[in-house]
Amino acid sequence: MLLGIVMVGYWLAYHTVGRYLAQKIFKLDANNPVPSRTHADGCDYVASEKPVMFGHHFTSIAGTGPIVGPAIGVIWGWLPAVLWVFFGAVFMGAVHDFASLVISVRHHGRSVSWLIGQYVGPRVRHVFFILVFLALLIVIAIFGMIIALIFAQFPQSVLPVWFEIPIAIGLGYCTMKFRFKLGVMTAIAVGIMYATVVLGAYIPIRLPDVSWMPATGSWTLILLAYAYVASTLPVQTLMQPRDFMNAWQLYIALGLIVLGIIAAGPGVSMTAPAVQLAPTGAPSLWPFLCITIACGAISGFHCLVCSGTSSKQLACETDAKLVGYGSMLVESALAVIVIVAVTAGLSLAYTHNGSVLTGLNAWSVHYGSWAASAGLASKLSAVVVGCANFLAYLGISQPIAYAIIGVFIASFAGTTLDTATRIQRYILSEWGAGIPAFQNRWISTAVVIGSAAVVAFSSGVNGKGALALWPLFGAVNQVLAGLALLVATLYLRKKTRIAWLVTGIPCLAMMGIALWASILNQAQFMQSFNILLSGLNGVILILVLIIGVELAGVFLQRKRGIMNAVQ
C-alpha cells in the first residue's frame, strides 16, 4: 500500500508540478540553443539521446546517497522518513535539480559557482568555490572508500563491476561508430552484464591484505586511479554508456524488489515503529532528518551534477523536464524502496550472533540505538539483507541476491566517483581561468585526485581518512542546495511574480535547516574537543555568514535602486 500510494504520487507530481515548471515558469523551448551543440568538442560537450542522458544524469546524482541516507534516517521511524522523502523531492529537490539544469543550459553550461558570481557577486563566487571544492573533495574520497568497503564485504560484486567497463565501452562503440540500434545493443549489453553478476556470485574475488596495506587501502588506490582515467576520457567513450547501463540495472533491480514485495504478500508489514522521536544516542529529529536524508529528498550535490556534466550533454532544452525533474522523482522512489527494505525487509530474517531474528526483534537489534546502527558497512548490510529477503520470495538464491544488490550499490557509487571527479575538474578550471595548468584536463584532474588521495589516506593506509570529515558533509551539502535555489530565485524574479513561492521558500527552508544543523554540530564538536571538525565547521559557518552579508548588500542595493527609480 505504501509503495502504491507514493508511486502514484510521483506520477501525478511529474505530470502536474513538473509540467507547470516546464511550460509556465521556465517556458522550455525545443528551438533554443543548447551548449552540447553550440560548444560541441567531442569530449565534454557531447549531445546525448534523451534515454542515455536520463541514465547518465540519474546514476550520477544517485550514487549511494538515496541508499545510505534513508538507511540511517529510519531510526526516527519510517513515517517521518517517507514524508520528508516524498514531499521534499516533489516540492524542493526536483525543483532544485530542474532549475539548476535549465539555468546552466541557458548560460553555456556554466557551473553554479560561476552563476552565483554572476547573480550575487565575485566575492560570493570565491566563497562558494571553497564550499564546493570541500564538498566534492569529501565525496571523491568517501565514495572510493565506500566501493572498497562493498568489495570487501560483498566480494561477489567485484567481477561484474569491473566487467561493466569493457561492456559499456563496447556498447558506446557499437551505437556511435556503427550506428547499431540502441535498444538491441542495450538488451545485449545488459544481458551480458547480468551473466557476469551470476558468475560473480560463484567466483567472489577478495583482494588480500598485504603486510603494509589492508585491502580497503589497495582498493581505494585502484579506484582513484580508475576515476582519473574515466573522468579524462571523452564522455561518450565510457561515462555515457556505462551510466546508461547502470540505469537499466536499477530498473531491473527495483523491478525485482517490487515484485518480491508483492510476492511476499500481506504477511509482510512495516514492523519497525512508524515514529521514534528519541532513539538512544541519536541527535534530534529536527533538523537532522533533513540533513541525514539528502539524496532522495533534496541534495546540493545534484546542482553540481546538473550544472557540471548534464548541462553540457543535454541535446534539447525540453529534455530537461525528464532529466532534471523526472530523475529526481525516480531517485526519491528508490529511497522509499530502501526505507521499505530496511524496515519490513530486514525484519523477515536478520542474522545476529549466529541467531536468525525476525519481526521487531530483528529491526531493534540493528536499530536499537544510534551506536548499534553506526558505520557505513552497517547501513549497507541492512539494505542488502533487506532487499535479498524480498528477492528470496522470487526464488532467487541468497548468493545471487547479494551479488545483484551489491553490484547495484557499487556501480552507482562508481558513477558518482568519476562524475564528481570530472565536476571538480570543471570547477577548478572555471575558478583558475587565468592559470594555464588548470585548463589542461590531465593536470587539473591530477590535482583533484591527488587532493582526494591525501584526504583518503590522512588517517593511515586503510584509505578511510575521509570518514573524519564525513560529519561535515550533510550540512555543507544542504547549504549548497539553498544557494542553488537562491540563484534560481534571482534568475526567476524578473520572469515571474511567484519566484518566491517556487524557489524562494525552499531556499529559505534549506538555508535555515543547514545553519541550524551546523550550529548544533559545532556545539557537539566543541563539547567533544574535536579540534579538526570544530575548526573546519567554524570556517564553514564564517563562509556562510560572509555569503549572508553579501546577499543582504545585494538586496539592499536593489531596493535603493527601485526607490530611486520611483522617485
The pLDDT value given to residue 365: 81
Q: HSE (CB half, 13 Å, CA atoms) of 319? A: 24
Q: Report which secondary-structure segment, H or E, holds 357.
A: strand 355-357
The pLDDT value given to residue 567: 44
Whether residue 96 lies inside any domain: the answer is yes
The predicted-structure confidence for 81-111, as pLDDT tens digits, reads as follows: 999 999 999 999 999 999 999 999 999 999 9
Query: Residue 372 in contact with residue 326, Cβ under 8 Å?
Result: no
Nearest to 322 by CA among 258, 413, 420, 247: 247
* Other residues' Cβ atoms within 10 Å of the Cβ of residue 107: 17
Nearest to 138 by CA among 383, 393, 551, 458: 458
Distance CA 205, CA 106 (A): 46
* Other residues' Cβ atoms within 10 Å of the Cβ of residue 460: 11
Whether residue 554 lies inside any domain: the answer is no
Whether residue 542 lies inside any domain: the answer is no
The pLDDT value given to residue 306: 95
The predicted-structure confidence for 374-420, as pLDDT tens digits, reads as follows: 666 677 788 888 999 999 999 998 888 888 888 888 888 888 888 89
Whether residue 87 lies inside any domain: the answer is yes
For the chain, what is the domain count? Answer: 1
C-alpha cell at 527: 563539547
Distance CA 467, CA 240 (A): 30
| Alpha carbon distance, N-terminus to C-terminus of the chain | 60
SS3 292: helix
Whether residue 534 lies inside any domain: the answer is no
The pLDDT value given to residue 556: 62
Indicate yes or no: pTM above 0.75.
yes
Nearest to 247 by CA among 255, 259, 237: 255
The pLDDT value given to residue 41: 92
Tens digit of pLDDT at every position of the chain (567 positions): 888 999 999 999 999 999 999 999 999 999 999 999 999 998 899 999 899 899 889 988 987 888 888 988 999 999 999 999 999 999 999 999 999 999 999 999 999 888 988 888 777 888 888 888 888 898 898 888 888 888 888 888 899 999 999 999 999 888 877 788 888 898 999 999 999 988 988 888 888 877 678 888 899 999 999 999 999 999 888 888 888 888 888 889 889 999 998 888 777 788 889 999 888 888 899 899 999 999 999 999 999 999 999 999 999 999 999 999 999 999 999 999 999 999 988 888 877 777 787 888 888 888 877 776 666 667 778 888 899 999 999 999 888 888 888 888 888 888 888 889 999 999 888 888 778 888 899 999 999 999 999 999 988 888 888 888 888 888 889 989 998 998 999 899 888 888 889 999 999 999 899 999 999 999 999 998 889 889 988 988 888 888 777 776 666 665 555 445 444
SS3 347: helix
Whether residue 329 lies inside any domain: the answer is yes
Whether residue 541 lies inside any domain: the answer is no
Q: Report which secondary-structure segment, H or E, holds 350.
A: strand 350-352
Distance CA 488, CA 504 (A): 8
Whether residue 550 lies inside any domain: the answer is no
The predicted-structure confidence for 260-286, as pLDDT tens digits, reads as follows: 988 887 777 888 899 998 888 888 998
Residue 319's domain spans which residues?
2-466
In the chain, the percentage of residues whose pLDDT exceeds 70 is: 96
The pLDDT value given to residue 373: 63
Give the contacts of 454 (CB within 8 A, at least 6 positions apart).
none
What are the DSSP calls for 70-118, one per residue?
A: HHHHGGG-HHHHHHHHHHHIIIIIHHHHHHHHHHHHTTTT--HHHHHHH
